[in-house]
């Protein structure tokens, strides 16, 4: 059976509609807030694609769970290839480089849940600081990637 497809532009627009919402650890709802996984799940859900399999994310980042989530989203891209609508996996845990955070890639940069100063879903430039912590990028079989809709350089 063919997977439902939406354009990567439509997915990015859905993720952008979540910017400004409250960050809530393990958050999966617009009303109560979202975490990094919640943003990805909600952006697809807003377009009629259900990805959530009842994942419960623990209080501490869980690399194994992130791997399961990403595998359900699609497959990793070759190094250096990044397109809007992809899901980027990051590590921010020092020398061990354990991936603990995901974000939706946009034509501007990244949409992610900021657990720090803002405490909200934000869109930021894909700066060298983020590139330095990039672990991998995943593409979804649910997306049709539009020509000309690329990461702004």
Q: What is the CATH number of the domain that holds 28?
A: 3.90.1720.10
Q: What is the pLDDT of residues 16-67, one digit of tens each?
A: 999 999 999 889 999 999 999 899 999 999 999 988 666 666 666 666 777 7
Bridge partners for 123 per DSSP:
111
* Cβ–Cβ < 8 Å for 50, 61: no
Cβ of 15: how many Cβ atoms within 10 Å?
A: 26
- Give percent of the chain above pLDDT 70: 87
130 falls within a domain: yes
Which strand (E) or helix (H) includes residue 11?
Answer: helix 8-16
Q: Model pTM? A: 0.89
- Write the DSSP assignment of 58-88 as a string of letters: -SS--HHHHHHHHHHH-EEPPTT---TT-EE
Domain that holds residue 57: 6-144
* Residue 151 belongs to some domain of the structure: no
């Amino acid at each position: 059976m063919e997977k439902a497809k939406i354009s990567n532009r439509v997915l990015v627009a859905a993720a952008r509609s979540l910017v400004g919402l409250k960050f809530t650890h393990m958050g999966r709802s617009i009303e109560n807030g979202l975490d990094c996984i919640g943003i990805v799940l909600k952006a697809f859900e807003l377009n009629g694609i259900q990805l959530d399999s009842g994942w419960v994310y623990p209080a501490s980042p869980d690399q194994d769970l992130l791997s399961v989530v990403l595998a359900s989203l699609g497959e990793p891209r070759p190094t250096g290839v990044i397109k809007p609508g992809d899901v980027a996996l990051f590590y921010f845990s020092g020398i061990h480089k354990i991936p603990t955070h995901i974000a939706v890639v946009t034509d501007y940069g990244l949409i992610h849940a900021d657990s720090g100063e803002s405490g909200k879903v934000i869109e930021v430039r894909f700066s060298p600081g983020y590139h330095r912590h990039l672990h991998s990028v995943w593409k979804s079989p649910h997306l049709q990637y539009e020509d000309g809709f690329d990461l702004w350089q």
